[in-house]
Structures are given as C-alpha cells and as structure tokens.
Amino acid sequence: MRSLLPLALILLPLPALAHTGPGHVAGLAAGFAHPLGGADHLMAMVAIGLWAGLIGGRGVLALPVAFLAAMMAGGALGMAGIALPMVEAGIAGSVIVLGALVALAVRPPLAVALGLAALFGLFHGHAHGAEMVPGAGAAGYAAGFLLATAGLHALGLAVGAAGRPGFRVAARLAGAGGAAAMVALLILS
C-alpha cells in the first residue's frame, strides 16, 4: 500500500486550469513545473499512463508517445499564436474522458486509443505553447514540459501496468477520482 502513496499525493487537490496567459513563462524549470502546477494537466497525464498500462501490449508505449507527439504539435501551434478552438474545454474533457476510460478499464482498438491520446495531447500542448515566451527560453520550456509529462505518464504506467490486482483496482479508482474531481472543479468554478 505504501507504493500507492505517490499516486495519492499527486491526486490531492491543486489549483485547476493553471494557465497564466501568453508570454509569462520561459526556461526549463518553468516548463517542468507547468504540468505539475495544475490539477487538469496532472490528472490527464497520469491518466494516460494508467490507461496505457491497463490496455497493455503495444499501447504501453504507443499511448504516451502519441500524447507527447501531439502535445509538441499543439505547443508549436500555441507558440505560433495559431488559435485552437475550445482548448480549456478540451483539457477539462480530457480529464473526464480519460478518467472514465481508466475507471471502466475500456480497451478500444489501439487506433481509437491513439486518436484520443493524440487529440488530448494537442489540447494540452496548445495550452503550454500559448504560454511560452518566444525566443531564448522557449526550447528549455518545451523540454521541461515534455520531461514532466513523460514522468507523469511513467508514474501512471507503473501503477496501471502492475500485474497485481490491487494495483489495477487502484488505477481504476484513480481514474474515477480524476474524472469526479474535474467534474467537481467545473461545477465549483
């Protein structure tokens, strides 16, 4: 049970929708901190790992890679100032949908799972990219948010892919908790 403590700690309530607006952040540390500073990003990124672990097989690596690749593309769009409709709604929706998929241990065809992971990664990346300061610190910021995201995927994957039944139950409960938390945050905000 002690091995579930890190997962429980990251699911504690944090400020949601922690986007400060364009041009406020730069550098590796700011990029690394961004996914950790808002419950919306944190829950979605852990959920991708949980879901990948529950799906298993090729999905173990393919889902996180699809999310990261689309997140980079979304980041480039955001940094270039190219608008993407309904980014915040897409981010909130990603937490709810991913949480439900994990809670229900849904195992769709891999192509469907990859499409969802990529769509959600695009929204999260756009939010990150829209906040980047173009120029000197942008590469470090992008590297930071990619590293933090990969780490959150790995954390979820470690729980979701563990073969013991208790870990699978914990993964599914975490998914349900994430979806419920996002619904509550939306209702209360």
Residue ranges covered by each domain of the chain: 22-188
Which of 22-31, 40-49, 128-137 has the least mean pLDDT? 22-31
**Gap between the Cα atoms of 115 and 84, Å rounded:** 17
When comparing pLDDT for 79 and 116, which is higher? Answer: 116
pLDDT range class, residue 136, cuts 50, 70, 90: low
Phi-psi region of 153 (alpha: psi -120 to 50; beta: other; left: phi over 0): alpha
Q: What is the pLDDT of residue 6?
A: 45
Q: What is the pLDDT of residue 146?
A: 94
Q: Position of tokens 């470090």?
A: 140
Cβ proximity of 157 and 50 under 8 Å? yes
Four-CA torsion 129, 135, 139, 142, nearest 10 degrees: -10
DSSP per-residue codes, 91-151: HHHHHHHHHHHHHTT----HHHHHHHHHHHHHHHHHHHHHTBPSSTTHHHHHHHHHHHHHH
pLDDT range class, residue 38, cuts 50, 70, 90: confident
pTM to 2 decimal places: 0.84
Q: What is the pLDDT of residue 119?
A: 98
Q: What is the pLDDT of residue 177?
A: 92
Which of 18-32, 70-84, 115-129 has the least mean pLDDT? 18-32
Q: What is the pLDDT of residue 24?
A: 52
User: What average pLDDT is seen over the chain?
Assistant: 85
pLDDT range class, residue 31, cuts 50, 70, 90: confident
